[in-house]
Structure 1
């Protein structure tokens, strides 16, 4: 009953209309709080209240609070995962329950609060820190790159020390953390999964993954890993990969691993708290998101009709139907399809896992939003998500991006509040929200 009241209050606070007879509630606005970037700032309840009030005054309805880092450490006292009691010189006692403060303050202000957990992440390779650098070194991804298989902790150009999602021990460990979270925070409004994926197309090539794939495919891999992925080096020393004969079945298997985990997590979380909203963040670049083993589509969408990498059975690995919230990462600097047409080979920043240098409508906010809504087939609201740091100091482009993402989807997520604070872009953000929230004039009936 309390949660229902909070949802009603938040909806009323966010309602905006220009004509009483056509009043419609505004779309939800989510602000993300990254655990590392905001560690020092959010180590004081007064600071949490200050920013929660700023967000409420801007019309935000939801806060997403990162409580499990890419190192596998939690920002609350856990009986399973190590506690993140220090970052960049700032320390916190285990008794400091940041999320509890967010929930209490957020609910007082009529804001929903969601906990975000990096699921299959276990280390920060730039700092040699995390569970893959301790007792769970054997859980880390084994990466097949440039013709050799190496542990991901040895690749210092990649800060993500990812786990192997196919490992049953890893899955049970992460499910136990999710269950503990749901039991510890019965008043939290939602949980948002992040990094429920493989590291990239190069992982995981461990003996265990080979064994699990062979069981799934019903056949032995004669030449591993070459029957799946092949690496070649040209005369100039540049490496490139190509598909082996079992590649398409392999990526189907990887997507089935992620789908199976999401289904089990959904079942277990809802058994603990049926009112808990289950959400997920992924990148929006679906044509290459199979690189990270994820099919965020609805089962109603058949990718085999559009993409030659998808098997006839690939559609069964879609998991959008299991979600209450879906955040699609429109992490592009090109805003409209017209900008793609005029780009003349300029593709904008491509910094995220699974991205390519393709110049297409997928890689702009307008086109990406259209495709995300088509792919999810209406089974879950699509929240257009922006990465503020990609815009540098270009406030005008960011304003247009906010407006386009909000217009083109069912809501808006901003990653991350630290970039708004550092740039002092509160008014810039407000301008984009106002522009994107404008409703068309109602039809005049005579």
Structure 2
């Protein structure tokens, strides 16, 4: 399980944002004084939300077939002081844990268990997401649903096998990512060496059929009317700048620049490398625009069905390199093209595809090591959160948070003494707190450490 979640957390991060109407905003702790104008001038303290992520794969063994386990753990979550849960209902296989007219129900996930690495089957027929909604709300918890977005399958290591839509439906191969390999463009479904290419099989964000399919999934999800819907992995493939170089992407890019690319893909990047060609910066802007425009479509799809459901994303807080995923999660008011090394990959147009102003909330994954909690700049939790506020420019509220099961120093547990520091720097420097993942809190028995940290925080609000 730890290996599985290491992969998941390496490429996923969270930031919780609130723009739109005032009723949808996450409290920022800067409320006004008394309404009659009298009394103290000191701003009223506003309690910040605390989220715990519930990864589908990491918690599948415990929850897939047991409502009792869900009830027991959500009660503990509430008692510990969390205010919200984030329930992953579409893991990297691309199958779903909610009722959908287009998505296949999730039947199995590869897990690490006491019995070793194996498939875990779901035999229960009750509605997974609805159960979390019912049981969470009974306890006064807000329930947010998360989906892994541009994914469609998973190739397991160690020869266990594979799962997902891309493996079941050969006609969907054209939806899969095409990478800019040394020997030419290669569809990732042709890379099936489980020792070299195991992991998530991504969909091409520039493929219009892919986008329409995902919008249909979001339409089905919005019918549940969760408190929030969060897009995880709403980005390009883990191959980074090598993706996507499909014919569809070339067509869309040429429409974007208004002319043909004479030498494709070398005029963008030399095959098998990240050596820039003459269209390199425009290509980066095109990819960011592709994700930006999909975010707008997804937001509108959700709001058309459930206006009160907040809409947000989960991203990696390492902005300096996150452009390789084709994502600009900053405010359009932030211009990276004028900042040092950022100018090597961002042109003056890139800022226009920052999507923070189209969200209701955002999670920033401040996934630094256990000895990098305090500090400035990227790769400290404190620095990640401070940088997030600078980049978001007040467009949206956000939550920063750690991954307490993976990364330097967190892998083997035994870090209860550092939980308080992680909570403090993230909640002090952002508009809330989140933690990945519930299974690690269980595994390493961090319950008391989180409760004490939240109790300490709440005392400062009195």
Shorter chain as denominator, the TM-score bin is: 0.7 to 0.9
Matched, 1:149 2:185: yes
Which of 329, 354, 359 is residue 365 of structure 2 equivalent to?
A: 329
- Say whether residues 1:223 and 2:244 are aligned partners: no
2:83 & 2:461 partners in 1: Cα distance? Answer: 22
Question: Paired residue for 2:248?
Answer: 208
Q: What secondary structure is seen at the aligned counterpart in 2 of 1:266?
A: helix
Greater Cα shift, 168-177 or 51-60: 51-60
How far 1:202 moved relative to its partner?
1.1
d(CA) in 2 for partners of 1:103 and 1:421? 21
- Report if aligned partners of 2:107, 2:121 keep a CA contact under 8 Å in 1: yes
Q: CA deviation at 1:90?
A: 3.9
Equivalent of 1:408 in 401, 423, 429 = 429
Offset of residue 244 of structure 1: 1.2
Q: Which residue of 2 aligns with 1:133?
A: 167
Q: Which residue of the other structure, out of 147, 163, 173, is the alignment partner of 2:203? A: 163
TM-score (norm 1): 0.83
Distance in 2 (alpha carbons) for counterparts of 1:149 and 1:94: 42
Superposed counterparts of 1:280-429, under 5 Å: 280-306=313-339, 307-308=342-343, 309-333=345-369, 334-336=371-373, 338=375, 361-390=377-406, 391-392=410-411, 393-395=413-415, 396-429=417-450
Distance 1:440 1:133 in 2: 52
Query: In the alignment, does 2:292 pair up with 1:259?
Result: yes
- Moved segments of 4+, more than 4 Å: 20-23, 434-438
Aligned position for 2:17: none
Task: Identify if the C-alpha distance between structure 1 residues 71 and 87 changes in structure 2 by more than 3 Å, giving closer, same or farther.
Answer: closer
Instruction: Quote the Cα distance in structure 2 between the aligned partners of 1:97 and 1:86.
Output: 15
Q: Which residue in the other structure is 1:92 paired with?
A: 122
Cα distance change, pair 157–394 in 1 and its aligned pair in 2 (3 A): farther
Match of 1:357 in 2: none
Q: Structure 1, unaligned stretches of length 5 or more?
A: 1-6, 12-19, 233-239, 341-360, 442-446
* Equivalent-residue separation in structure 2 for 1:292 and 1:437 (angstroms): 37
Q: Give the 3 Å change call, closer, same or farther, for CA 92–77 of structure 1 in structure 2.
A: farther
Q: Give the drift of 1:429.
A: 2.4
Distance 1:288 1:158, change over 3 A: farther
Taking the aligned partners of 2:58 and 2:455, their CA distance within structure 1 comes to 27
**Greater RCO (CA < 8 Å, at least 6 residues apart):** 2
Shift of 1:176: 0.5
* Contact in 2 for aligned 1:85/1:94 (Cα 8 Å): no
**Structure 2 segments unaligned to the other structure (5+ residues):** 1-22, 28-39, 111-118
1:15 maps to none
Per the alignment, in what secondary structure is the counterpart of residue 242 of structure 2? Answer: coil
Report the RMSD for the aligned CA atoms in angstroms: 2.4
Q: 1:290: how far off?
A: 0.8
